[in-house]
Structure 1
Amino acid sequence: DWTVRRDPQALVLVAPEGDMKVALLDLKAADATAAIKEAWARYRPDEKHALRIMTARSAREGWDEKQVADYDTTPNERLVIEVVAARRGEDWTVMIIDGSEQAAEKRGAALGLLGKSLRPSGYVPESFAGRTPHPLDAARIAQLRDFLQQAIKDAQIPGAGFAVMEQGRIVYEGGVGVRELGKPTPVDEHTLFMAASNTKGMSTLLLSTLADEGKLRWDQPVIELYPSFRLGDDATTRQVQVHHLVCACTGLPRQDMEWLFEYKNTTPAQSIGMLATNKPTSGFGEVFQYNNLMASAAGYIGGHLIYPKLELGKAYDKAMSERIFQPLGMNDTTFDMARALRGNHASPHGRDLYNKTVVMQMNINYAVVPHRPAGGAWTSAHDFIRYVQLEALQGKLPDGRQLVSAANILKRREPQVAEGEDAFYGMGLSTEKAWGVPVVSHGGSLDGYKSNFYLLPETGTGVVLLTNSEDGYRLLRPTLRRLLEVLYDGEPEAQEDVRVAMQRDRAERDDVRSRQTLPVPADAMALLGGSYRSPELGRLTVRRVGKDVVFDVDEWKSPVGARHNDDGSTSFTMISPSMVGLELVADKRDGKRALVLRDSQHEYVFEEVSGVQGKARTKP
């Protein structure tokens, strides 16, 4: 539903709501800076926002050079202004992305499609379609291991677990690096990492067993199975069928702040109840919008159908153990945080404001426990590859027994909504064609943990990767690329992609630091009260700890820096590794001091309170 218009100087694409424009211009220029300047002069010559940072991207898809410029906007503007300049020979193509934060998130799949499919005229993309892969012998597995060893070094990631499968047979399990920075204990095949959102696909496996038994239908309205299920919109509530719970296609946006800020004593029943405040911001089935609470509800409803007399969390844990983990031999895998942390586990890591990798605290990861069907599993490379093996064997165990019917395991891969170019989301699984090769995959992200699996279903080849760092994100896609390079003698791009991505990330972290005043100066301190509360996010207390100003939300805390914005406002930015860049703006509401926190599609207001106040939220 985007519209396209040809201005005299540019091709302009406009989002359906009108709050996002993408301009494409072809021109000649001496360099990227000149190309971007000329593009603005043609598209909007009166643009006043200052360039904040320009960083390089890997030159791929036929381009000889690619640079991305990000612009300085104020928090209250809620704008995204970004320019991509790509060169082929002497010719530049410039793409200006210009719109609201809400549109950038809601229409992210469309923006991704625009960016990833933009190629020089006449360029033919590299494709491995129809080619015979090399066997994954010891030498080629060593190439994958060597790649990961260099990649964790380049990205300053302490360790990673990984495993490899060929033709449905597991051919390697192991690890590289260490479980915790500064300690010698290595990562091995049984080291536990948080799988995060890779738990979603495991949860939909549980639903597949119920579909096999006739206890649910994929097209069955959820309210028939769980009558108290409610969203913030009655019409959408009635529309939601079982397969919609994990499809990212219902129009419900992320609403993560509420469970990240307020999770102490939250129950699984309250996790489902939180959906009652979640309202759609796009049409049903219209765009890809990821929602963790919906996936959480899917798992809990599945467990409830099996053990209706048990508390929701206990029912889910028992059902997953008996129906999924035990039959697959996933004996390391657990939802029990205490058990995981007592044993062979990798500690979470991230980079601080000064680009130094440090061990992170675990406390914010406890936020996922009440919502664990969406991301709470701890697993190892040894176990994770067995989950992927079941996918490769279409529901069969290695001994030939059918754990889940092929029809219902494959149902989870059916495209529900587009994610990008040749890429679709199913039910806790993504499908795509990467360099001409069909791929099934999914990622996972929690504080200090990043994971992914990639399965090539045509050959039964797959790889799983588990990392113990925020920067593990930069290894995920290159791992797929390296697998394809090894299998098909592809152009060696993966290692450079990691290196360039990390250069960009470090520059961006340096930019965040450069825009903060530390310690918080007196004029900014004067805008702060001592104690605040938000109806949705609970209590926030401002504390002095030595020279630092710390925002404490009870479940976790972070020091902050201050920034005076161009519109006269002052914002306070969290600088702990887990929350770097999260910004709250000083304001006044009803005559009281306030702090305003925004994600892309929501606004949360902390108002100052006097005295010691309990948490404001009444959980549903």
Structure 2
Amino acid sequence: MLRILIRLLTAAILLTLTISVAVAQEDTYEDPQGRYNMPIPENWTVEENDAYTTVQSPEGTIKLYFMVAPLMTDTPDAVAAGWQLVKPDFAAEQASTLEPPSQSPVDSTLVVNYDLGDDNVIYQAVAQVVGDQVYLLLVEGPLTDIQRRQAQITVISTGYTISGTEQTDLTGVEPRTIDAEMTGALEDYINVLMPQLKIPGAVVAIVQNGEIVYMGAFGTREMGSDSPMTVDTHMMIGSSGKSLTTTMMATLVDDGLMTWDTPAQDILPQFEMADAELSEQITMRNLVCACTGVPRRDFEFLFNANSLTAEDVVESLSTFEVFTDFGEAFQYSNQMVATGGYIAAAAGGGEWGNLFDSYAEQLQARVLDPVGMPLTTISFEDVIQRGEYATPHALVAGFEYEPLPLDTERTLMPIAPAGSHWSTVEDMAHYIIMQLNNGTAADGTEVVSAENLLITREPQVAVSADDDYGLGWIIAGYKGLPLIEHGGNTLGFTSDLAFLPDTGVGIVVLTNTQVSNVFNISVRSRLFDLVFDDVDAETDAENMAFTVGVMDEQYALPENLADSVDASVVEAYTGTYTNAALGDIVIELTDGTLTLDAGEFSGAILPLMEEDNPDQVDYYITVDPPVSGLQLHFEETDDGTIHIVAGQGVTEYTFTPVE
């Protein structure tokens, strides 16, 4: 109905008159000339005039301009002309450009980021050339608003489709039987990929038709060591463990101890949001759906992990601001999922003051034992005692990895149900088999009913144009086939679980490196391509070369990063500071090195100089893992005291001196 309305209005009004249509529910906008289409999120506004279409956020602060224009002399000129059309006074300088590989019918793509001298405002352009036409997407908006509505922007940008775009559809194609030849080809691919992406160690397991058909280990447990990775090596799985929690919740629903729609306060009266009305409305389903509007606030457990309890995590939600309306946009909160796990433990008989232990016990009894996952745990002590664990590695400047002390990963313990699980690739393969069997373990044990397990895979909120978030799972697609998946990141490990429910094929990929998602997902995709005999090695290699180049640039040391501090200046910054959400930090100057010590971690601080004035400090950044790249502004107030502003946009925190 919306697309018909837009077309009728366009034909009926003067070309210079703009129309505005507010979208009550997500719909698809189609260009009146049939050149492109895109999804429009709920409550966003579409405006048309003769030369371009504007899509605006509900607040009107974020604007996405779409237009198609003649190519002119070259793509940059077309981009500049586009900006002059929508903003005649636009005069920002280009900060960076990218030319990613393109897919037919697009001949070439150019991405431009701009520098306006204000990090709190974002301008970006994407130009796609098709023949003698250039398809432009221009984006502008405040950083904080873009952070709040990033998922909805992703829905629009990933759904923006130029007419003639081809999509592979494998519906009805029979998967091949996974054999030694196929796994050998996958191993060859992994052995090429690991040095490209500098991965120290990885393990892979593949399941098909209810059986583990392959397990393989690559590299070493620690960079520079001769201790090989094995399929029995313990690694953390991060957010891939969220579905372990929602599976446990499904068993509680089976047993009549709660329902998915039981209000959280009915089970745990201590649960409270900042909004009293919302506190009463939130159900057990809502806690794990990423759809309540509660944003990501990871710093608040990273900076306080040594003192946080499960109960503290639950109580912390009473201070969280809600970014978007209920069910309006994907907002990923580890504290919300952790709270869901802890309240589920209370539904199973756990008591306030013992929620962490109760969660561990019920996860063991309800999921891990019946599935056959003897080495999966949230106990660091059990992992250390067993002694077969990989060393976590942090990604540092220069696109390099370096080992992290194992205890650094303990900062995730307060949010255990959301992502502090340890496991092995074989345990996780057993878990994938249970998922593919819709609740029945490999040995025939019924772990959970198919009815309640499948509810965890029902879409709750859009992540992109093609993907939705369920309850601890991402509901996606692979070349026309349903795909269920979830990745996980800790401070030094990465995981990926994925399966094609209609074909009986699944894969687990674990690494001992931070944010190695490109590697994990590439291995997963190559397996599926092999299974369906649809490998395009040339395109894959081109895409990987581009990705590696981007990562080299993204993680390069900034040219304007100084190698030391001016002790005479930073001496005034030393002392103890506090923030209500992040707690206390200590700024120290020792032997010429400025450091930030949060208790849970510490690291050096260096100044980033102004690009146009290399003698003037722009701001400072942390340079050591696990929290590297954090912006710090030391600001002198009117009374002469120093305040520290850490972070940017919605993740900005102000520290004041402790008297």
State TM-score, norm by structure 1. Answer: 0.92
Q: Distance in 1 between matches of 2:464 and 2:583?
A: 37
Shift in alpha-carbon separation, 1:522–1:91, aligned structure 2, 3 A? farther
3-state SS in 1 of match to 2:516: helix
Q: For the aligned residues, what is the CA RMSD?
A: 2.3
1:596 pairs, out of 642, 645, 653, with 645
Q: Does the aligned pair in 2 maintain the 1:61–1:125 contact within 8 Å?
A: no
3-state SS in 2 of match to 1:365: helix
1:389 equivalenced with 2:433 (yes/no):
yes
Give the match for residue 501 of structure 1: 547
**AA in 2 matched with 1:377:** H
Give the match for residue 538 of structure 1: 583
Of the structure 1 ranges 435-444 and 118-127, higher mean CA displacement relative to structure 2 is found in 118-127
Shift in alpha-carbon separation, 1:498–1:341, aligned structure 2, 3 A? farther
Shift in alpha-carbon separation, 1:73–1:443, aligned structure 2, 3 A? farther
1:555 equivalenced with 2:600 (yes/no):
yes
Give the match for residue 66 of structure 1: 109
TM-fit CA distance, 1:367? 1.6
Higher relative contact order (CA 8 A, sep 6+): 1
Q: Distance in 1 between matches of 2:443 and 2:400?
A: 47
Equivalent residues in 2 for 1:113-192, closer than 5 Å: 113-192=155-234
Give the match for residue 574 of structure 1: 622
Give the match for residue 462 of structure 1: 506
Q: Distance in 2 between matches of 1:391 and 1:160?
A: 23
Shift in alpha-carbon separation, 1:239–1:482, aligned structure 2, 3 A? same
3-state SS in 1 of match to 2:243: helix
Shift in alpha-carbon separation, 1:205–1:471, aligned structure 2, 3 A? closer
Greater gyration radius: 2
2:100 pairs, out of 27, 49, 57, with 57
TM-fit CA distance, 1:247? 0.2
Give the match for residue 417 of structure 1: 461
Give the match for residue 606 of structure 1: 655
Give the match for residue 520 of structure 1: 565
Q: Does the aligned pair in 2 maintain the 1:363–1:556 contact within 8 Å?
A: no
1:380 equivalenced with 2:424 (yes/no):
yes
State TM-score, norm by structure 2. Answer: 0.87
Q: Does the aligned pair in 1 maintain the 2:308–2:414 contact within 8 Å?
A: yes
**AA in 2 matched with 1:70:** N
Residue correspondences, number: 608
1:358 equivalenced with 2:358 (yes/no):
no
Shift in alpha-carbon separation, 1:333–1:33, aligned structure 2, 3 A? same
TM-fit CA distance, 1:90? 4.3
1:222 equivalenced with 2:261 (yes/no):
no
Of the structure 1 ranges 96-105 and 381-390, higher mean CA displacement relative to structure 2 is found in 96-105
Q: Does the aligned pair in 1 maintain the 2:206–2:214 contact within 8 Å?
A: yes
3-state SS in 2 of match to 1:231: coil
Give the match for residue 482 of structure 2: 438
> Which consecutive segments of 4 or more residues in structure 1 shift more than 6 A?
566-569
Superposed CA offset, 1:140-165 (max 9, x none): 12222222222211100111111111
Superposed CA offset, 1:90-125 (max 9, x none): 433232221122332332222222222334321222
Q: Does the aligned pair in 2 maintain the 1:174–1:381 contact within 8 Å?
A: no
Shift in alpha-carbon separation, 1:498–1:295, aligned structure 2, 3 A? same
3-state SS in 2 of match to 1:427: coil
Q: Distance in 2 between matches of 1:522 and 1:89?
A: 58
Of the structure 1 ranges 142-151 and 63-72, higher mean CA displacement relative to structure 2 is found in 63-72
Shift in alpha-carbon separation, 1:525–1:65, aligned structure 2, 3 A? farther
Shift in alpha-carbon separation, 1:151–1:527, aligned structure 2, 3 A? farther
1:20 equivalenced with 2:62 (yes/no):
yes
Q: Distance in 1 between matches of 2:438 and 2:527?
A: 22
Q: Does the aligned pair in 1 maintain the 2:125–2:136 contact within 8 Å?
A: yes
**AA in 2 matched with 1:141:** T
Shift in alpha-carbon separation, 1:62–1:172, aligned structure 2, 3 A? farther
TM-fit CA distance, 1:564? 4.6
**AA in 1 matched with 2:287:** L
**AA in 1 matched with 2:565:** V
Of the structure 1 ranges 574-583 and 285-294, higher mean CA displacement relative to structure 2 is found in 574-583
Superposed CA offset, 1:263-322 (max 9, x none): 112111111111111121211111110111111011112222324357111111111112
Equivalent residues in 2 for 1:100-119, closer than 5 Å: 100-119=142-161
Q: Distance in 2 between matches of 1:31 and 1:154?
A: 33
Q: Does the aligned pair in 2 maintain the 1:127–1:435 contact within 8 Å?
A: yes
Q: Distance in 2 between matches of 1:532 and 1:107?
A: 31
TM-fit CA distance, 1:543? 2.0
Give the match for residue 315 of structure 1: 358
Give the match for residue 616 of structure 1: none
- Percent identity reads 27
Q: Does the aligned pair in 2 maintain the 1:532–1:539 contact within 8 Å?
A: yes
TM-fit CA distance, 1:338? 3.0
1:42 pairs, out of 66, 85, 110, with 85
Which runs of 5 or more structure 1 residues have no equivalent in the other structure?
A: 611-620
TM-fit CA distance, 1:19? 1.9
TM-fit CA distance, 1:10? 2.8
1:403 equivalenced with 2:459 (yes/no):
no
Q: Distance in 2 between matches of 1:125 and 1:30?
A: 31
Q: Does the aligned pair in 1 maintain the 2:491–2:514 contact within 8 Å?
A: yes
1:241 equivalenced with 2:290 (yes/no):
no
Superposed CA offset, 1:22-78 (max 9, x none): 122333155544443333333324334432222333323643333333333567x52
Superposed CA offset, 1:514-568 (max 9, x none): 2322213468636624332212212222223444321111211122222355899
Of the structure 1 ranges 379-388 and 515-524, higher mean CA displacement relative to structure 2 is found in 515-524
Q: Distance in 2 between matches of 1:520 and 1:10?
A: 49
Q: Distance in 2 between matches of 1:337 and 1:61?
A: 49
Q: Does the aligned pair in 2 maintain the 1:524–1:562 contact within 8 Å?
A: no
1:481 equivalenced with 2:525 (yes/no):
yes
Q: Distance in 2 between matches of 1:195 and 1:231?
A: 29
Q: Does the aligned pair in 1 maintain the 2:264–2:284 contact within 8 Å?
A: yes
**AA in 1 matched with 2:593:** D
Which runs of 5 or more structure 2 residues have no equivalent in the other structure?
A: 1-42
